[in-house]
Amino acid sequence: MKRALISLLRSYSALFFSSSHLLGLVLLALTFMNPNMGFGGAVSVASAYLFARIVGFREDFLKLEHYIYNPLLVGLALGYLFKVGVISAPFFVIAGILTFLLTYSLSAVFHRYFALPVLSLPFVITVSLLYLASVKFTNLFVISLYPKFYLDLPLFLPVPVEGFFKALGAVLFTPTVFGGLVVFLALLSVSRILAFLSVVGYVSGVLTHALLVGSIYQAVSDLSAFNYVLIAMAVGGVLLIPSPRSYAFAVLSSAVAVPVVVGVKAFWEAYGVPAFAFPFNFTVLLVLYVLLLSGDRYITRWYRGTPERTLDAYLTYNRRFPFTGREIHLPFSGRWTVWQAYDGPWTHRGPWRFAYDFVITDPDGRTYRGDGYFLTDYYAFGKPVLSPVDGTIVSVVGNLPDNPPGQADRINNWGNHVVIHDHRGFYILIAHFKQNSLRVKVGDTVRVGSMLGLCGNSGYSPQPHIHIHVQAVPKVGAPTLPFNFVSYRRGELFRDMGLPAEGEVVEPVFPDRGMLRRFNLLIDQSMRFSVEEGGHTYEFKAVVKMDPYGYFYLTDGRARLYFGILNSTFNFYSLWGNPSSPLRYLLFAVPKLPLLNEVGLRWEDHLPLRALSSPILREVALFLASFKHNLFGVSANLRFVSPNRLEGVVEMRGKRVETSATIADDFAFSEIRFGEVILRKIESGWEENST
């Protein structure tokens, strides 16, 4: 019963793109201001839910809001027109089942062929058919049709403001100032971004409408303006990551929807059917589909229940893991110096701007000993060059002569080189090998660290160095693509991913086997912690599990803390579920751990805003950050102070929290500290059902 009630509340809040139970409760109560609407929605939802369970759908499958809110909307729409009674009740049941069938079918088609959400399109189709059919159901029409009364307050607001609140209330078939005001205040308490976008969408759509018809009064009196509100909220805060760009799309999409709203009303109302939310669905799906086809990188991949949570997760993840999809290892061992980086001053220009050159320097910054007259004077000459990826050799040239120092071959620009096809779908070119030093041939399979050849001075190269870049096609010298290096250190600073600057000395690193064993957490491994927090002590148990998509997480039954090993680093990725779970302290204290265990090694990371900010400050910061993404941030700086202990500081605009962690002898951590909060592992083992 509890799970069913939660699903019901989430279906109400999902009408406004939220997962808040509180918002759902407010909206539920608002619909019962008209009892027939409230009961109509409940009957349709219950019938759809029970039918799905009878058919055999799992309960977790039915947690997807669109399977519930579409029947809910149909029930509300029918309750708006008909009184719930002996005659109409079967009609509501049939409506709920029909809506579920259409929702499931359309969802499968939209997802498979277009990669689009179904939104409330099943509601629009079903309720339009039922409104048309009800004209022929004379018994239902005569007995159940009833006059509708609404509670409203004489607030004496300006006409445009009244129009806004009425349009907002019309989403729940309660087109009153009071209803819209309740919805807006509830929405404001859940998400400032959604509340802001509701105003933006309404103003954009109504002003465009008024401009086209020549009457602001006519525009603000049109209850179909709720479409503009929903469009702006969906485009600006849900389907796109909140930003000035998404807000601009919200304004534009709301304006574009005006002729859609007017045209649909002109056609459908001729048959006595309201436009409902068809303009919203039509416009949003068109905009989203075009953005998907264009490869827009700001499309929301995982919506977290509110735009604020989604934005926080997006900013944190991008700062922590600046993926390009083309991450490669350094092509050498030992310490080398960056001679040229992206947009280098000499040859890394135009189509070849995304490239790196490496040399070896001495403590004085010189690349050679003595006077540098001979190639053998150069520290890099003859040093091993290693494969930066797992892949297949597709091109090899190895017989060109090495240039004397200070000279270059202008004809054979790349000199002796290899091209490797990375199995992820791109190519790596490494150039300027020593003559006749290559150890690979076309067709050979190489792994990270495989010997390719020796560093030389062939091609357009005035001194021995390694040139490396990534390209989309195998043709030698094709335009370059952005990429990142992984698992390297610059002095004491460890980077799991990044791009070193010119002049920096870098060295590739690989994980320690002992650390790798301790953090290779397996399914059903469990840990029981004692927590000291705020003067109280309690316990919780964390168990390793795997979700249906193959991702591993720790769970205490209330939340999931996802983790994994990537680029010589153990990462806590993100926390899903109850944000007050004590699992959050693992994420906050040790978001990232190099599997190196070297005293003095330090590293940097970023955390979500909730790590340090109060709820009010966090919500204000996230709303402001939607206008400028780098406005706020929480940084973490950590260091190994002994072989099994690390300490650090988490900071945001002057606020500091000290953290520490002790690595356990068996697996994971034996102690975690975040400020005054202490987690101590008191037991570890395996779940009883483990194999």
407 occurs within a structural domain: yes
Count of domains in the chain?
4
Within a domain: 525: yes
- 172-182 mean pLDDT: 90
Average pLDDT for 72-97 = 88
Q: Going by DSSP bridges, is the β-strand pair 493-498/484-490 parallel, antiparallel, or unpaired?
A: antiparallel
Split at pLDDT 50, 70, 90, the class of 137 is: confident
22-30 contacts at long range (C-beta below 8 A, 24 or more positions apart): 22/186, 22/189, 22/190, 23/186, 23/187, 23/189, 23/190, 26/182, 26/183, 26/186, 27/172, 27/183, 27/186, 30/172, 30/174, 30/179, 30/182, 30/183
Instruction: State both tokens at 127.
Output: 């309720």
User: For the CA atoms of the chain, what is the radius of gyration?
Assistant: 31
569-594, pLDDT tens digit by residue?
A: 999 999 988 888 999 999 999 999 99
Give dist(CA 626, CA 619) in Å, integer.
11
pLDDT band for position 353 (cuts 50, 70, 90): very high
113 & 198 share domain? no
CB 528 within 8 A of CB 541: yes
**pLDDT tens readout for residues 518-539:** 999 999 999 999 999 988 999 9
Please report whether residue 24 resides in a domain.
Answer: no
Rounded average pLDDT over 114-125: 92
Do 433 and 518 belong to one domain?
Answer: no
8 A C-beta contact, residue 379 and residue 362:
yes
Q: Of 260, 285, 300, which one is at a domain's C-terminal end?
A: 300
Asked if residues 642 and 650 have their Cβ atoms less than 8 Å apart, the reply is no
443 and 359 housed in the same domain? yes
512 burial type by CB count under 10 A (0-12 exposed, 13-18 middle, 19+ buried): middle
Model confidence at 22, in pLDDT bands (50, 70, 90)? Answer: confident
For residue 427, the domain's CATH number is 2.70.70.10
Quickly state the pLDDT bin for 125 (edges 50, 70, 90): very high
**Lowest-confidence region among 47-51, 123-127, 243-247, 609-613:** 609-613
Residue closest to 235 by CA, chosen among 217, 247, 222, 218:
247
Above 50 in pLDDT, residue 355? yes
> Do 145 and 198 lie in a common domain?
no
**What's the distance, Cα to Cα, between the start and end of the chain in Å?**
33
Residue 305 domain-assigned (yes or no): no
More confident call, 343 vs 420: 420
Closest CA to 470 of 674, 278, 324, 593: 324
Q: Is it the case that residue 567 has pLDDT exceeding 80?
A: yes
**Which tens digit of pLDDT belongs to each residue from 183-212?**
999 999 999 999 999 999 999 999 999 999
**Mean per-residue pLDDT of the chain:** 90
Q: Cα torsion at 396, 397, 403, 406 (round to 10°)?
A: -50
Same domain, 282 and 338: no
Specify whether 397 is located in the same domain as 341.
Answer: yes
Burial (CB < 10 A; 0-12, 13-18, 19+), residue 654, is exposed
- Decide if 601 contacts 492 (C-beta within 8 A): yes
Domain boundary among 149, 178, 213: 149
Residue 48 in domain = yes
394/285 same-domain check: no
Paired tokens of 150: 């609404």
Same-domain check for residues 361 and 470? yes
Could you tell me if 462 and 408 are in contact, meaning their C-beta atoms sit under 8 angstroms apart?
A: yes
Tell me the DSSP string of 250-293.
Answer: HHHHHHHHHHHHHHHHHHHGGGT---TTHHHHHHHHHHHHHHHH
How many angstroms from the chain centroid is the CA of residue 191? 18
* Residue 121 included in any domain: yes
Boundaries of domain holding 360: 327-482
| pTM recorded for the entire structure | 0.87
- Residue written as token pair 């609140």: 165
Can you read off the two tokens belonging to residue 422?
Answer: 């990375």
Instruction: Kindly state whether residue 161 falls inside one of the protein's structural domains.
Output: no
CB 217 within 8 A of CB 159: yes
User: Same structural domain for residues 461 and 521?
Assistant: no
My answer on whether 535 and 657 are in the same domain is: yes
pLDDT of residue 324: 77
Q: Is the pLDDT of residue 61 over 70?
A: no
Together in a domain, 529 and 632 = yes
- Given a contact cutoff of 8 angstroms between Cβ atoms, the answer to whether 415 and 452 are in contact is no
Checking if the pLDDT of 62 tops 70, the result is: no
Say what the alpha-carbon torsion angle 198, 199, 200, 204 is, to the nearest 10 degrees.
110
What's the pLDDT tens digit per position in 228-277?
999 999 999 999 999 999 999 999 999 999 999 999 988 887 777 888 89
Q: How many CA atoms lie within 13 A of 221 on its CB side?
A: 5
CB 476 within 8 A of CB 429: yes
- Percent residues over pLDDT 70 in the chain: 95
Co-location of 573 and 620 in the same domain: yes
Contact criterion met (CB below 8 Å) for 75 and 81? no
pLDDT per position as a tens digit, 464-512? 999 999 999 999 989 999 999 999 999 999 999 999 999 999 999 999 9
Asked whether residue 249 is assigned to any structural domain, the reply reads: yes
